[in-house]
Amino acid sequence: MTQEEINYSKHVEQRIEERKLEKQWIVETVLNPDKTIVKAENEVHYFKKFIELAGKFLTKCTKNPLCL
């Protein structure tokens, strides 16, 4: 999966801009998470720690694991 293959929702695009995130960080979080929690059949939370974010975790929650 690459950035070009992902369709981001308007909400996600706004959050990326507000938080000055790199889209590649989101792709990396979903593809290679440090931790994954399945909350429900269609809700998955992905966690990944990034040095670029001063060691903070980037969390990606999706209601449909195939869409961001």
Read off the tokens for 51.
Answer: 């040095």
Give residue-wise pLDDT tens across range 15-59.
889 988 888 888 888 888 899 988 887 788 888 888 877 777 776
- 55 secondary structure, DSSP code: T
**In sequence order, what are the residues at sequence separation of 6 or more whose Cβ sits closer than 8 angstroms to the Cβ of residue 53?**
25
Nearest of 12, 50, 10, 52 to residue 29 by alpha carbon: 50
d(CA 68, CA 12): 8
Residue 3, pLDDT above cutoff 70: no
Give Cβ neighbours of residue 52 (< 8 Å, ≥ 6 apart).
Answer: 22, 25
Q: What's the CA gap between 33 and 42, in Å, rounded?
A: 17
pTM of the complete model: 0.72
Q: What is the pLDDT of residue 2?
A: 63
